[in-house]
A = this chain, B = another copy of it.
């Protein structure tokens, strides 16, 4: 750790000119004469001069670091979103810093606490499932740090938001199940304070209502988490009850996959005995047998748009109190775990 990078002063000393002249030469300042500029540029090139970004940021009172806070990065959903974000910032002067909240409000608050010690240009956050209080987000806003909420809504909290229309995604999926002949459709839902889960649940309920199918409490089961393992017990509960459903709409693909395997183990035929639709369209979902029907979300685009909005927010001059609110549409992807609709091909 003794690296002594080439500075403007080194170049100035070598050329026997002042640091200001070097600085101006590198910026092609019109007042300088050609020979000076060239001499400086040549030496800077030769010595591989790199401006010290910290000195600059200190002077300008700015930062080129963007923080991205996600609950988890091993799920395809968030890693794809992060990729979208990255792809926008990679061609900008900004660098992204990834922070993982592990779906924990405490960790999320701690991350923001630590972030405030560092200079940060803006924050993109997909809130943890346990986040009910938004004080930490408000603090950022109070400090004039641009904030974008993505994927998961924080109801009652005003900010720029980039979301997915989970409600209609779920509605369409359930409506499809009904049209394909299912009448006893169960739903495996997730943590009840997540906007995404709630909107999907509401979409499920409204689709049933819309078709005059009674909503049965026993057919709405909450999984204790997002992973495959968390789908086993709810499915067993449903398929061993005395009111066995003929379809399961799961709040995500992992739970759907788990439901699939559990159903198979219990000798149910898919989709004849039990149809299954998931949510997310993870890359491997189409490789199961039968291939999983699911709801695709434009997650990469969502990441990109969030990043673009943040970028604009950071660089804009005028002060506006308007918050953007973008909602992406989903797409129903029908594969083998759901029955065909009569005359649908």
Task: Give A residues with C-beta under 8 Å from B.
Answer: 1-3, 5, 50-55, 57-58, 62-65, 73-74, 76, 79-80, 82-83, 86, 90, 95-100, 116-119, 143-145, 227-228, 254, 257-258, 260-261, 264, 282-284, 286-289, 314
Asked if A96 and B95 sit within 8 Å, CB to CB, the answer is no
Asked if B254 and A284 sit within 8 Å, CB to CB, the answer is yes
Q: Which residues of B contact A258 (CB under 8 A)?
A: 287
Asked if A117 and B50 sit within 8 Å, CB to CB, the answer is yes
Q: Which residues of B contact A261 (CB under 8 A)?
A: 287, 289
Asked if A98 and B96 sit within 8 Å, CB to CB, the answer is yes
A-B contact pairs, 6 of them (CB 8 A): A1-B62, A54-B119, A65-B95, A73-B73, A73-B86, A227-B283
Nearest CB to that of A231 among chain B residues?
A: B287
Q: How many copies does the complex hold?
A: 2
Q: Which residues of B contact A289 (CB under 8 A)?
A: 261, 264, 288-289
* A80 CA / B116 CA spacing, docked (Å): 27
Give the 5 A-B residue pairs with the shortest CB-CB distance, closest first: A3-B144, A74-B79, A98-B98, A54-B58, A73-B79
* A100 in complex: contacting residue of B83, B99, B286, CB < 8 Å: B83
* A289 CA / B266 CA spacing, docked (Å): 13
Q: Which residues of B contact A96 (CB under 8 A)?
A: 97-98
Q: Which residues of B contact A76 (CB under 8 A)?
A: 74
Asked if A1 and B314 sit within 8 Å, CB to CB, the answer is yes
The smallest C-beta distance from A276 to any residue of chain B, in angstroms, reads 13
Asked if B144 and A2 sit within 8 Å, CB to CB, the answer is yes
Asked if B79 and A95 sit within 8 Å, CB to CB, the answer is no
The smallest C-beta distance from A48 to any residue of chain B, in angstroms, reads 8
Q: Which residues of B contact A145 (CB under 8 A)?
A: 3
